[in-house]
Structure 1
Amino acid sequence: MPLIGYALAVLIGLSLGLLGGGGSILTVPVFVYVLGFGAKQSIAMGLAVVGVSSLFGAADHWRRGNLQLRAALVFGAMAMSGTYAGARLSVFIPGAVQLVLFASVMLVAAFFMFRNGRQDAVLAARKQPAVEPRKAPVPVMIAAALGVGGLTGLVGVGGGFLIVPALVLLMGLPMKQAVGTSLLVIALNSFVGFAGYLGHVEVPWALLAVFTTLAVVGILVGTRASHFVSPRVLKQAFSLFLVGMGLFILYRNLDAFFAHPPEMTRRG
């Protein structure tokens, strides 16, 4: 099982590099259902993996001119306070509840990702340019950043599927720059969220280091491959995968959600 988990680590990095998000959506289920860790451990370790791999991906996008540092720091600074608050709040929420919330987020992400993929396909077929993005009012940006950050800390999602459209629709970034910028925001959010879990979960540092290294390899490959792969096809295919995974997690945890059982520990 560890070998399968390590292979999936590369896939997690690929999704981050290709789509600017999706890595944490895969990371938590891998830690829970493939490597056998508890929900809270998995969420904490997932934040560390996604944070480090996203940082490497952001650096690569920076070299290619696809990262707006000011936008990342402004949006990230607002989101980080929400992330830390969400991570601290998660201490009082049973792990099964977090997994049900996580699965619900997966289904919402799948819907928006599939819809965006279809919209991209329609625009391409009609040979229409994408709508020129406009900046939203500052209060709207603050509320969106806090919401994304809180979700990151609470259920362990990096929030790329929310951050990318937020950067486009609220901060006026072109899509290509939004993907690169989102990786830095994800890294900042993930590190703050991971810090919020330290002291409350046991972290197997050696396994985490190997897993993270493989995810970094994946994101570097995915970042380069993103220039040759149709993003709209990827979005639609990945959204279908998210639906299947989200329904599976809901099936495994709905009973536990209502029963509020004690936290699952790692199997021998």
Structure 2
Amino acid sequence: MSEDIVQPIVDNNDVTELITTLATPVTDPPLNESDAFPTPSDSEDAANNSAIFGAESLVYNNYSIFGTFVVIELVMTTLELIISIVAAIKMERWRKNYRNQMLMQLTVARFIKRIIFTFKFLECRDKITDSEAVANFLYCFQLYIDLVIAVLVFFFIKHMYNSLIIVLVKISQNSFYKVMSYSWLIPIPIVVVCSVIIATDFVDKWYVNLLMCSVFRWPLIFVGTGVYIAIVYRILSDRIRQFARSLAVNKTQSSRSLPDYSLADANMKC
């Protein structure tokens, strides 16, 4: 018996398309070793990027901590100024005291210094204008306030020496006005000269500040420190002398208070 063989009906177009697809080369190149593994240059770029990111994060953290301290100092100085103003308004006797008036001037100067320091911090963080004129103005104004504070502290220590060591010194309201005028007006011509030097770029700011400190601020600070040490030495020596004198007086009084017994009294008691 003959068997009927059934052959599949295949379209010639389909066979041609299949052969063409298999014979067509792949356009995408295979994954080579350079694509599979990072090159040394890629590793260096990643390390540099991570180092830059870490440095920026560290700078940001340092600025954040520093900014916190700036805010704390500004708040404390503001509270100190408010307390001084309230005390001066409410207590007339406190307001007329020479030392309190000097402390009031120092408080105002320190408050202005904190304000300038805050503006300089904001300038470094690019929160305000980065104009060079503004930066020079803040720098010169800071030099002025630093010199005013040094002069005020020197006059305050001198007043302590006059009142505690010399004692017989007449203090009037006119003397306070003179001290206040000297403290706030004398630094003006000095700072004007420094401002002209900085504005003309004749000398760098750092050298101007060094010259200011060497000629004016540091001598005032050293002289004031020497006067203060002399005050402390005189007060301590007087206290020690008074203490030794009181011990000698107490010893003399105790020896006088003891009864005097003679030999005859001792024999009679026996």
Which TM class, normalised by the smaller chain length? under 0.3
Q: Which has the higher contact order (CA 8 A, sep 6+)?
A: 1
How high is the TM-score relative to the length of structure 2? 0.25
